[in-house]
Structures are given as C-alpha cells and as structure tokens.
Amino acid sequence: MNRPLNAKALINGDDAVFGSPVEQQTRQAANLGGVIQDVADRVGVLSVTLAEVSGDVQDVTALYKSKTKGFQQLRTGVHSMAERGRQVVHAAGEALDTAANARARVDETSHRLKQVMQDVSALTAHANDISAQLSRVSHSMVEVTKISAHVSELARQTNLLSLNAAIEAARAGEHGRGFKVVAGEVKELSNQAGNATAEISKTMDALGAQMNAAIAQAGAATKLADQIRNSTDMVGADVEVLPKVLTVVHQVQTDIVGAARAIGDDLNHAETEIDQMTKAVETASVSLASASDKLTALTDTSEQMISLTARLGVDTVDTAYIRAVQQVSRQVAERFRDAVEAGQILLNDLFDEVYVPIEGTDPQQHITRFTAFTDEVLPPLQEPVLKFSDKVVFCAAIDRNGYIPTHNVKFSHPHRPNEADWNARHGRNRRIFNDRVGLNAGQNQQPFLLQAYRRDMGNGEFAMMKDVSAPIDIFGRHWGAVRLAYLV
C-alpha cells in the first residue's frame, strides 16, 4: 500500500520515498546517462546546424569577396573613366578654343581673299584693256605700212619722171640745163624718199612682229587672268561658306564641352558612390570572414563536445559509425605494417610526400610512390563499409596532407577532357583535399574525430554530412586516417 508523500519525508530523504542509496545511485546514473545522451543528441544537431550555417556564411563570404574584387575593378574602371572624362573636357575645351581661333583666322583670310579677288578682277580688266590697245596699235601699224608702201610707189614713179626729165633736158641742150638740174634734185629726193620708205617698211615689219608677239602674250595673260578670276571666284565661294561651317563647328564644340562636363560631374558622383559602396562591401567581407572564423570555432567546439560524450561511453546516433571507422583504420594500419615487413613497399615510399601532378586532369590529380600500392590493398578494406548503412557516402584513407590516393570505385572514374564538373563528382581519387574537414581528418591523432560539414553535390545543391575519422599509425609514425562520411 502506497503511503502519501509529505514535505518532511521529501526534505529528510526518507528511504521509504526515495529507496535505498544503491537504488538512488542507480536511478541517478540512469538519469545522468539519459541526460548525457540527450546532450550528445542536441550537440550533434547543433554541430550539423553550425556546419550548415558556417557553409552558408562561407558562401556569402566568398560571394562578398568576389563582389569586393568586382567593386574594386569597377572602382578602378570608374576612376579611369573619370580621368578620361576630365581629359575629354580639357581636349574639348582646347578644340573649342581652336575652333574659335580658326573662325577668326578664316574671317580674316576671307577678307584678304576678297581683296585679292578684287585685285585679280582689276588686273584682268587692265590686261583686257592692254590687249585691246595693242590690237588697235597693230591696226594702225598696218595702216602706216600701207601708206609707206604708197609713198614708196610714188617715189618710184617720181624717180621715173625725173629720169625722163633728164633725158628731155639733154635733148634741149643749153636750154634744158636748168631743167636738168631740177630733174636731178627730184631724182635725189625720190631716191631719199624710196630709201626712207624702205627703212620705214623694215621698221614696221619688225614692230609688227614684236606687236604680234606682245598681242599673243597679252592674250595669254588675259586668258590666265580669266582663269585666275574663275578660280578665285570658286575659292571665294568656298571661303564664304567656311565661316558658316566653323560657326556650326564652334556650336557643336560648345555642346560637346557642356556634355563632357555633365558626364564628368556624373562620373565624379558615381566615383564617390562606388568608393563608398566598395568600402562597405570590403567591411562586410571582413565582418563575414570574422563571423565565418567564429562559426568554424563553434563548429570545432561542438565536434569536440560530441567526441567527449562519445568517450563517456554513451551511445549516440554516431557511435556505430565511430566503431566502424576505428575497425577499418586498425585493419588498414595492420595491412600497411605487414606490407612493410614483407618488403612489399618501403616505409619511406609509404610516407612519400612528393605529389606529382598527372597531366590532363581537371581537377588536378597527383601520384606518389605509394599510390599503386594503395590501389591494390585499400579497396578490399574500404568497399565493404559502403554497405554498412544506406547513409554511407564514402569510405577512404587520407594521408596527413589531405591526399586520397585510392577512393571508392564509384568515385574513381578516369577524368574526361573538358568536363571538370563531371570529374569533380566521379573522379575523386588521387586528389588532395586540403580543406578544413580533410586536413583535420588526416592530421587528427585522437582515437576518432567527428566533424559535420556541407558537401557540394553540384548544380548548386548541397547535402549535410558527418565525417568520422580514425588515425592510421605505422610503427609509431602518423600516416593519416580513414574517413567515413555519411548523410545526416
């Protein structure tokens, strides 16, 4: 029959209420185990959540870093554009001044050319007048030549008459002596007139030739003057247009200067805004990086708490995986030691750290002196673990530097040319995974290490996973660990 509880019994710890001390300790131990298991479960959930949040923050941090670089490039570009804008404004201003000077010079040249055109027109008219005068003089000379010829004919006839007179005077004898003298004088005058007309004719011929040459030259000069006038008329028309064109150019240059100054003002404003945005992004990037580091530290702490609870002997959702990976790590260590002792591989070769890149692989694969050995001995130990649970994703040995020489068969396909994404998912063997989880697993020397992380599945999809690893020691030297990854 149950007795009713009372305050005194509760205060004094009555055995009838709480049972014997052994029973109380048993209950307390059971309660403590339950509490520890509950804490372990909650810490496990917290660890996964932290890992997921940490992955998200890392993504945002990476995005901000890329944006920071983009903003810095944009800022550099805007700075360059602003500087070029200032150069454009300066050049446009100089072009505007040049256009103004050119317009002034064209105005002056136009005025001078008009004066030249007037002078050429006057010269052309004067040449035409000279040509006309020379033509008239030539006509007069022709008339003089005709008169001279007539005078020459009269002198010839007079000479004949004087000859006849002298004959008649000779016949008259003494009575014709006076007439003979007159006839001689007439003949002499006739000869002189003939000689004079001959000289005049000769002179007129020479003058006629010179006059013809002068007339020809005057004609050529007149023709050339006409050509010059026509040319200057055309140039004058062009020059008259130039001031109008330069006026338009000056106006356009004025508009360009105004637009360039407006663009420069906009660029200066954009430059200031982008500077502020870049600084804000840089600050945010630093803050996110700091937050990421703190989340990573929290993740590490939560993982350490999970390890502590596991070491207390309390079974959790991860216990079976921990035991499985520890068993495989012991098998791998034993197989490695046996191979060294049997001379199957040298100890130094097993610890080789010269990772030789394999040409034509993307992501980059490497080979070492122990790769061929692990390809032979690890698959029989790693592949069976994949059947341990449908949540298991992979089981692979990793050395202390994050190098996985031999992966599971499903992740060991040959790389395809120009298909980096496919290779990253299906050709994961012979690669170095020196990320936080990979390095922590390979370098951990505690009995086991439990980590939570977010795995990139490609195409923007991620899966939350846990990674439990156990160290591999060969003759007292830490080689690496066996990693067992499974879905949460």
Same domain, 269 and 157: yes
Same domain, 230 and 346: no
pLDDT of residue 12: 46
The torsion angles phi and psi of 113, rounded to 5 degrees, stand at: -65, -35
Same domain, 17 and 85: yes
Q: How many domains does the chain have?
A: 2
β-partners of residue 397 are 482
What CATH code is carried by the domain that includes residue 212? 1.10.287.950
Evaluate whether 318 touches 306 at the Cβ level (below 8 Å). yes
Does residue 3 fall inside a structural domain?
Answer: no
What CATH code is carried by the domain that includes residue 443? 3.30.450.20
Same domain, 71 and 175: yes
The torsion angles phi and psi of 449, rounded to 5 degrees, stand at: -135, 125
Q: How many CB atoms sit inside 10 A of residue 455's CB?
A: 17
β-partners of residue 450 are 468
The torsion angles phi and psi of 451, rounded to 5 degrees, stand at: -130, 150
Domain that holds residue 229: 8-296
Q: Which amino acid is at 149?
A: A
pLDDT of residue 17: 43
Does residue 305 fall inside a structural domain?
Answer: no
Same domain, 405 and 331: yes
For the chain, which residues score pLDDT lower than 50? Answer: 1-18
Same domain, 212 and 337: no
Among residues 130, 380, 96, which one has the least CA distance to residue 252?
96
Does residue 108 fall inside a structural domain?
Answer: yes
Does residue 419 fall inside a structural domain?
Answer: yes
pLDDT of residue 399: 98
Same domain, 147 and 51: yes
Same domain, 287 and 418: no
pLDDT of residue 401: 97
Taking each continuous run of H as one helix and of E as one strand, the counts in the chain are: 10, 8
Half-sphere exposure of 97 (CA within 13 A, CB side): 5
Nearest-angstrom CA–CA distance, 210 and 212: 5
Does residue 307 fall inside a structural domain?
Answer: no
Same domain, 322 and 292: no
Same domain, 448 and 343: yes
Nearest-angstrom CA–CA distance, 329 and 370: 17
Does residue 1 fall inside a structural domain?
Answer: no
pLDDT of residue 186: 72
Evaluate whether 474 touches 340 at the Cβ level (below 8 Å). yes
Same domain, 57 and 153: yes
Question: Dihedral, CA atoms, 185, 188, 190, 193, nearest 10 degrees?
Answer: -120
Same domain, 216 and 352: no
Residue 394 CA, distance from chain mean position: 45
Does residue 309 fall inside a structural domain?
Answer: no
Q: Which amino acid is at 259?
A: A
3-class SS at 416?
coil
Q: Which amino acid is at 208?
A: G
Does residue 475 fall inside a structural domain?
Answer: yes
Nearest-angstrom CA–CA distance, 334 and 329: 8
pLDDT tens figures, 49-92: 655 565 556 566 666 666 677 667 777 877 777 777 777 777 77
